Amino acid sequence: MKRNYWLLAIVFLLSTLHAQAGEWIRINQLGYLPQSKKVAVFMSEVPVEVNNYSLVDVFTGKTVRTFTSPRKTGPIGQMKSTYRLDFSTFDTPGTYYLKAGKAVSPHFPINHRVYNGTADFLLNYMRQQRCGYNPFLKDSCHVHDGFIVYHPTKTGQHTDVRGGWHDATDYLQYTTTSANAIYQMMFAYLQNPEAFGDAYDAAGHPGANGIPDIVDEIKWGLDWLNRMNPAQGELYNQVADDRDHAGMRLPGKDSVDYGYGRGQGRPVYFCSGEPQVRGKFKNATTGVASTAGKFASCFALGAKVLKDFYPDFAQEIASKADNAYQEGIKKPGPCQTASVKSPYIYEEDNWVDDMELGAMELFKATGDPKYLEQAVEYGRREPVTPWMGADSARHYQWYPFMNMGHYWVAKASGNERLRDEFIRNLRTGIQRTYEKAVGSPFLHGIPYIWCSNNLTTAMLTQCRLYRELTGDTTYEEMEASLRDWLLGCNPWGTSMIVELPLSGDYPIQPHSSLLNAGVGNTTGGLVDGPVYRTIFESLRGVNMEGIPGMPGQDYERFQPDLMVYHDALHDYSTNEPTMDGTACLTYYLSSLQKDGMKQANAAADKNIYSNGGIVRTDPSKKQITLVFTAADRADGADTIISTLKKQGIKGAFFFTGEFYELYPDVVQRLLKEGHYVGSHSYGHLLYSPWENRDSLLVTREEFEKDLLKSYEVMRKAGIEFKDAPLYIPPYEYYNRQIAAWAKNMGIQVVNFTAGTASNADYTTPDMKNYRSSQAIYDKILSVEAAEGLNGHLMLIHFGTDARRTDKFYKGHLERLIKVLKNKGYKFVPLREAVGI
């Protein structure tokens, strides 16, 4: 019989050989929800006919379905043949790979959890971008900001505008992009609150504070936006300018002199409503409405989001919303950003969309019909965001990249005629984009201007909101293609989000001062994305230099004719993460998580994670789960099984491959009793050195081959992959990379809750860390008395060394269970406790 644990080795081999074969299959590297559109793209450097394609189960090696209707699409760049491979009708959870022609795709999971935590993951980058105090660097920066410019009476005066976020790798700050980021995160939270967790405090440090992390980020942004509007009629648009572009350095070491002394404060640009120029480059400002409308919408909606968390602050910004809106009425027109040394600014030309959204948020907040009337008037002046269907546009010319005001007129006006009119506006923009997309193998009709991924995110949002408003699925495949484009189904086969997924191909050399300084990557950041080749070749200072010792990835073999993308430190045109693009993606990813929860009828994920593994279940519930691991010993079998049966408890048991082979009768007894029985690896490998958890002692191929072998042995015992998706790593020791590799195989790492010392029951008297059973028992109860054991995953070893005669499972385990039951704890099966 063929040994299935070699299957993945074959996949790896074929995947590495595809460079010679000249054929590839591009996929969404995160995976797919069971009930969702699933389309991969096959491409070949030589003409080839593909008549069928197959979906193969990674764990069994069996072809689960063969499809006979590949959709032939046109050439792109050096790829002479391309096909769209639709496997949407397959919805069985598992881990699979696709085969077409000579190509084999990377493997991917199909399950309800593939998007869990992804919206929160983006917030890593938002915390990295914080100005004033930066929790990632644990350092302060720009604490002297700033000095007013362009105000008729206050120019030169100091005003406190500390806080907010740096716009990208530079340290400029704009109301334009920051307000849009705040609004999109607020919208994401209100639409999908169940998708967001609480793992960080308000300062951005690890540790829950009872407030969802996205609300912490929203509050951080609104604090800054409030400072940028210190008094009625006093709106500010920008902090610093392109004199900031003085080389890569960490924000705390920013010593650029703007005329106030080195590092002693930066200019704060007043919204004057007139063109501004600090050098030879003059912007085209004609009013303040584009900025005023953003202030109004953020303050009005922000008051709603924060009222239960910060009621006084919520009331303060609520009182400012209409005042800001009135400034836009007084001075209609766009308020562009300003530059000194270069021509690169946010050239926002439209403003009625901002005023429309501001009016709608005021209408929703007050119920005053005048705001609805004004919103409709503004909305009719720009029925479709102009970039949609266009071949090009100037930098941020039509911004925000989608009009949330149209959505709210359709959704909240209470008028069917207006609903139909503004839904038609949304559909027209989508249709124009679709007409451009149908010529692309990747069904991608976005113009490849600077920050094209931000436009992709905007169109994703518009497609989903339109589908939810109407139930019309006409554009569902394009929506899925836009989603998958950001996650690896693109010509380059790379995710556009740094470290998402960590198991896949993603930007490892984004344009980042953090990376350049060697202090970390821009985790969670959405990079700019591809640009037209003509744009790339026209920009100043872009090149393919990488970090020292590692050249940039030029992807030359995969570059389409018209556009380019590079993973290179010094390509700021395609590979620089942006704060607003990242924030705008929180809505769509949180929606996908909610979709998965709905499909599985699952509750919100309240588990506590460490390094990607679940280390505690819902801490609000007075529940405990008993987990047991074993490599090659089963001396506790009779006692443990008897104790659990007597106490009416279902435990979770994780065994190595060797254990399954040594003790098949014990495994069958556990299964018969209804316990969870899963994998503890096959060979009990040590994944990382004890002295350096972040490094690895195994390759991905070794890890996956070992895990496949483990599941092969389990299958012989009657345990299928679907029955055992939870996994405790050997030695209960792993890192983020291991957890990511496991997740890509559809497996969730779990581990014990630290602090009780229950896991010390393996120690022997000759060890320095020896704990007697009574000491362990006492420690558990002392932790319970001090902080409770809610949600604890309590680890007991199923067998221990003969030198330990003081076995915890003999007497102490049952006594502990009785005491904890008397204290009101419920012992809950693992899968029920974690919700998987």
At residue 552, the pLDDT reads 83
Q: Which residues pair with 609 in a beta bridge?
A: 614
Residue 8 predicted with pLDDT over 90: no
Domains 4-110 and 606-834 share a fold: no
Whole-number pLDDT of residue 5: 43
What is the structure's pLDDT at 16? 47
Return d(Cα 21, Cα 793) in angstroms, integer: 48
In terms of Cα–Cα distance, which of 67, 262, 183, 299 is closest to 584? 183
Element (H, E) at 513: helix 513-517
pLDDT above 70 (res 9): no
Phi, psi at 15, each rounded to 5°: -65, -35
Q: Give the mean pLDDT of 433-456.
A: 97
* pLDDT (mean) for 694-715: 97
Mean pLDDT of the chain: 95
Going by pLDDT thresholds of 50, 70 and 90, the confidence category of residue 3 is very low
Backbone angles phi, psi at 610, to 5 degrees: -140, 125
What's the rounded Cα separation, in Å, for the pair 634 and 640?
Answer: 10
Confidence of residue 305 (pLDDT cuts 50, 70, 90): very high
User: What CATH number belongs to 4-110?
Assistant: 2.60.40.10
Given a cut of 80, whether residue 14 has pLDDT beyond it is no
pLDDT the model gives residue 19: 44
Domain boundaries, the chain: 4-110, 118-594, 606-834
Question: Dihedral angle at the C-alpha atoms of 452, 457, 463, 467, nearest 10 degrees?
Answer: 170
What phi and psi values does residue 108 have, to the nearest 5 degrees? -155, 150
pLDDT at 20: 60
Report the side by side order of strands in the sheet with 81-86. 23-26, 39-44, 81-86, 71-73
Give the Cα separation of 225 and 183 in Å (integer).
Answer: 11
pLDDT above 70: residue 6? no
Is residue 1 scored above 60 in pLDDT?
no
Residue 21 predicted with pLDDT over 60: no
Q: What percent of the chain has pLDDT over 90?
A: 93
**% of residues, the chain, pLDDT over 70:** 97
The 10s digit of each residue's pLDDT in 141-175 is 999 999 999 999 999 999 999 999 999 999 999 99
From the list 674, 652, 653, 677, the residue with the least C-alpha distance to 834 is 652
Q: Check: CB of residue 42 under 8 Å from CB of residue 483.
A: no
Can you tell me the mean pLDDT for 217-230? 98
The DSSP code sequence of 688-747 is S-TT-TTS-SS-HHHHHHHHHHHHHHHHHTT--GGG--EEPPGGG---HHHHHHHHHTT-
Q: What is the per-residue pLDDT across 309-336, written as a single tens digit (0 to 9) for each?
A: 999 999 999 999 999 999 999 999 999 9
Average pLDDT over residues 284-304: 98
d(CA 681, CA 411): 51
Q: Which CATH class is domain 118-594?
A: mainly alpha
Burial class from Cβ neighbours inside 10 Å (0-12, 13-18, 19+) for residue 601 reads exposed
Does 51 score more than 60 pLDDT?
Answer: yes
- pLDDT, one tens digit per residue, over 210-223 is 999 999 999 999 99
Question: Residue 623's Cα: distance from chain center in Å?
Answer: 29
How far, in Å, CA of 583 to CA of 132, rounded?
Answer: 19
Does domain 606-834 sit in CATH 3.20.20.370? Answer: yes
From the list 460, 476, 455, 462, the residue with the least C-alpha distance to 390 is 455
Mean pLDDT on 557-583: 96
Mean pLDDT throughout 661-671?
97
pLDDT value of residue 279: 64
**Residue 12 in this model has a pLDDT that exceeds 70:** no
The full length of the chain comes to 836
Residue 204 CA to residue 135 CA, distance in Å, equals 5
How big is the CA angle at 408 (ends 402 and 414), to the nearest 5 degrees?
155
DSSP notation for 627-642: EEEESS--TTHHHHHH
Mean pLDDT (whole number) for 482-511: 97
* Res. 94: pLDDT tops 60: yes
pLDDT in tens, 186-212: 999 999 999 999 999 999 999 999 999
* Tens-place pLDDT, residues 599-649: 999 999 999 999 999 999 999 999 999 999 999 999 999 999 999 999 999
